[in-house]
Amino acid sequence: MSPTDAELDAVIRSTLDDRGLTYESPEPGRFFVELPGTKKLRTNCWLVLGRHAVLVEAFVCRRPDEAFEEVYRFLLRRNARLYGVHYTVDGEGDVYLVGRVGRHAVTPDELDRVLGQVLEAADGDFNPLLELGFASAIRREWAWRVSRGEPLANLSAFRHLVSDS
Protein backbone atom coordinates (compact mmCIF):
# COMPACT_ATOMS: atom_id res chain seq x y z
CA MET A 1 0.00 0.00 0.00
CA SER A 2 1.30 3.41 -0.99
CA PRO A 3 1.99 5.94 1.77
CA THR A 4 -0.69 8.61 2.11
CA ASP A 5 -0.04 12.23 1.25
CA ALA A 6 -0.22 13.10 4.95
CA GLU A 7 2.37 10.43 5.82
CA LEU A 8 4.76 11.63 3.10
CA ASP A 9 4.24 15.25 4.08
CA ALA A 10 5.18 14.31 7.67
CA VAL A 11 8.30 12.41 6.54
CA ILE A 12 9.48 15.34 4.41
CA ARG A 13 8.74 17.91 7.12
CA SER A 14 10.51 15.92 9.87
CA THR A 15 13.51 15.24 7.60
CA LEU A 16 13.91 18.94 6.80
CA ASP A 17 13.50 19.85 10.48
CA ASP A 18 15.98 17.19 11.64
CA ARG A 19 18.60 18.48 9.15
CA GLY A 20 18.06 22.07 10.28
CA LEU A 21 17.08 23.23 6.80
CA THR A 22 15.14 26.42 6.24
CA TYR A 23 11.95 25.84 4.29
CA GLU A 24 8.45 27.06 3.64
CA SER A 25 5.43 24.91 2.97
CA PRO A 26 2.88 27.12 1.22
CA GLU A 27 0.45 24.19 1.10
CA PRO A 28 0.54 20.51 2.06
CA GLY A 29 2.89 18.49 -0.11
CA ARG A 30 4.87 21.52 -1.38
CA PHE A 31 8.17 22.52 0.21
CA PHE A 32 10.46 25.37 -0.84
CA VAL A 33 13.81 24.42 0.71
CA GLU A 34 16.90 26.60 1.07
CA LEU A 35 20.13 24.59 0.82
CA PRO A 36 23.14 26.55 2.12
CA GLY A 37 26.30 26.40 0.00
CA THR A 38 29.75 27.91 -0.21
CA LYS A 39 30.29 28.86 -3.87
CA LYS A 40 26.61 29.28 -4.69
CA LEU A 41 25.56 30.76 -1.37
CA ARG A 42 22.12 29.19 -1.50
CA THR A 43 20.30 26.75 -3.74
CA ASN A 44 16.53 26.96 -3.69
CA CYS A 45 14.88 23.60 -4.18
CA TRP A 46 11.24 22.56 -4.52
CA LEU A 47 9.99 19.24 -3.18
CA VAL A 48 6.50 18.63 -4.55
CA LEU A 49 4.43 15.61 -3.68
CA GLY A 50 2.86 14.12 -6.79
CA ARG A 51 0.62 11.17 -7.47
CA HIS A 52 3.49 8.69 -8.02
CA ALA A 53 6.60 10.50 -6.79
CA VAL A 54 8.08 13.51 -5.06
CA LEU A 55 9.37 15.97 -7.66
CA VAL A 56 12.71 17.61 -6.89
CA GLU A 57 13.57 20.82 -8.76
CA ALA A 58 16.36 23.31 -8.09
CA PHE A 59 17.40 26.38 -10.06
CA VAL A 60 21.17 26.37 -10.71
CA CYS A 61 21.90 29.35 -12.98
CA ARG A 62 20.37 31.45 -15.70
CA ARG A 63 20.90 30.86 -19.41
CA PRO A 64 24.59 31.12 -20.29
CA ASP A 65 25.64 34.25 -22.16
CA GLU A 66 28.25 32.40 -24.21
CA ALA A 67 29.89 29.02 -24.89
CA PHE A 68 26.56 27.20 -24.94
CA GLU A 69 28.02 24.02 -26.41
CA GLU A 70 30.70 23.81 -23.71
CA VAL A 71 28.16 24.46 -20.94
CA TYR A 72 25.72 21.85 -22.25
CA ARG A 73 28.53 19.34 -22.81
CA PHE A 74 29.61 19.88 -19.19
CA LEU A 75 26.01 19.31 -18.00
CA LEU A 76 25.55 16.14 -20.06
CA ARG A 77 28.83 14.66 -18.82
CA ARG A 78 27.99 15.60 -15.27
CA ASN A 79 24.59 13.88 -15.53
CA ALA A 80 26.38 10.52 -15.76
CA ARG A 81 27.73 10.99 -12.23
CA LEU A 82 24.65 12.35 -10.46
CA TYR A 83 22.39 10.42 -8.09
CA GLY A 84 18.62 10.88 -8.21
CA VAL A 85 18.67 14.14 -10.17
CA HIS A 86 19.91 15.36 -13.53
CA TYR A 87 20.62 18.64 -15.23
CA THR A 88 18.10 20.09 -17.65
CA VAL A 89 17.32 23.44 -19.23
CA ASP A 90 13.97 25.16 -19.49
CA GLY A 91 12.52 26.91 -22.53
CA GLU A 92 14.59 30.01 -21.80
CA GLY A 93 17.82 28.02 -21.41
CA ASP A 94 18.05 28.42 -17.62
CA VAL A 95 19.77 25.48 -15.91
CA TYR A 96 18.00 23.30 -13.33
CA LEU A 97 18.51 20.07 -11.45
CA VAL A 98 15.41 17.86 -11.51
CA GLY A 99 14.50 14.40 -10.32
CA ARG A 100 11.83 12.20 -8.84
CA VAL A 101 11.76 10.01 -5.76
CA GLY A 102 9.11 7.30 -5.93
CA ARG A 103 6.52 7.49 -3.15
CA HIS A 104 7.65 4.14 -1.70
CA ALA A 105 11.28 5.33 -1.63
CA VAL A 106 10.62 8.53 0.36
CA THR A 107 12.56 8.02 3.58
CA PRO A 108 14.68 10.42 5.62
CA ASP A 109 17.87 8.76 4.30
CA GLU A 110 16.76 8.92 0.66
CA LEU A 111 15.66 12.55 0.95
CA ASP A 112 19.01 13.34 2.59
CA ARG A 113 20.88 11.64 -0.28
CA VAL A 114 18.92 13.44 -2.99
CA LEU A 115 19.08 16.86 -1.32
CA GLY A 116 22.78 16.28 -0.66
CA GLN A 117 23.28 15.54 -4.35
CA VAL A 118 21.39 18.69 -5.33
CA LEU A 119 23.58 20.76 -3.04
CA GLU A 120 26.84 19.07 -4.08
CA ALA A 121 26.07 19.53 -7.78
CA ALA A 122 24.65 23.07 -7.65
CA ASP A 123 27.36 24.33 -5.31
CA GLY A 124 30.27 22.35 -6.74
CA ASP A 125 29.44 23.02 -10.39
CA PHE A 126 28.50 26.67 -9.92
CA ASN A 127 31.92 28.26 -10.55
CA PRO A 128 32.76 26.02 -13.54
CA LEU A 129 29.37 26.89 -15.07
CA LEU A 130 29.99 30.60 -14.54
CA GLU A 131 33.50 30.33 -15.99
CA LEU A 132 32.20 28.58 -19.11
CA GLY A 133 29.00 30.53 -19.69
CA PHE A 134 29.73 33.97 -18.29
CA ALA A 135 33.50 34.60 -18.68
CA SER A 136 33.05 37.85 -20.62
CA ALA A 137 30.56 39.21 -18.07
CA ILE A 138 32.93 38.31 -15.24
CA ARG A 139 35.78 40.16 -16.99
CA ARG A 140 33.56 43.23 -17.54
CA GLU A 141 32.44 43.19 -13.90
CA TRP A 142 36.06 42.86 -12.74
CA ALA A 143 37.16 45.81 -14.89
CA TRP A 144 34.24 47.95 -13.74
CA ARG A 145 34.99 47.25 -10.08
CA VAL A 146 38.70 47.96 -10.54
CA SER A 147 37.91 51.26 -12.31
CA ARG A 148 35.70 52.36 -9.40
CA GLY A 149 37.84 50.95 -6.60
CA GLU A 150 35.10 48.49 -5.65
CA PRO A 151 35.87 45.30 -3.69
CA LEU A 152 36.73 42.17 -5.65
CA ALA A 153 36.35 39.63 -2.84
CA ASN A 154 33.33 37.79 -4.26
CA LEU A 155 35.02 37.59 -7.67
CA SER A 156 38.33 36.26 -6.35
CA ALA A 157 37.54 32.71 -7.50
CA PHE A 158 37.62 34.05 -11.07
CA ARG A 159 40.91 35.97 -10.84
CA HIS A 160 42.47 33.54 -13.35
CA LEU A 161 40.00 34.75 -16.01
CA VAL A 162 41.38 38.29 -15.82
CA SER A 163 44.68 38.76 -17.61
CA ASP A 164 45.85 41.96 -15.87
CA SER A 165 44.80 41.13 -12.28
Q: Are 149 and 85 found together in one domain? A: no
Q: Is 152 helix (H, G, I), strand (E, B) or coil?
A: coil
Q: Are 152 and 113 found together in one domain? A: no
Q: Are 162 and 99 found together in one domain? A: no
CATH number at residue 10: 3.30.1460.10
Short-list 95, 99, 96, 126, CA closest to 111: 99
DSSP string covering 60-71: EEPPPSS-HHHH
pLDDT of residue 165: 46
For 52-95, the pLDDT digits (tens) are 999 999 999 999 999 999 999 999 999 999 999 999 999 999 99
Amino acid at 43: T
Q: Are 9 and 68 found together in one domain? A: yes
For 95-130, the pLDDT digits (tens) are 999 999 999 999 999 999 999 999 999 999 999 999
- CA–CA gap between residue 44 and residue 31 (Å, rounded): 10
Query: Is this prediction's pTM over 0.85?
Result: yes
- CA 9 to chain centroid: 22
> How does residue 154 score in pLDDT terms, banded at 50, 70 and 90?
confident
pLDDT of residue 151: 87
pLDDT of residue 47 exceeding 80: yes
Q: Are 58 and 108 found together in one domain? A: yes
- CA–CA gap between residue 133 and residue 107 (Å, rounded): 36
Q: Are 13 and 94 found together in one domain? A: yes
pLDDT of residue 164: 57
Domain hosting residue 160, numbered range: 136-165
- CA–CA gap between residue 153 and residue 16 (Å, rounded): 32
- Counted domains in the chain: 2
Q: Chain-wide mean pLDDT for the chain?
A: 95
Q: Are 145 and 161 found together in one domain? A: yes
Q: Are 108 and 160 found together in one domain? A: no
Q: Are 152 and 77 found together in one domain? A: no
Q: Are 148 and 96 found together in one domain? A: no
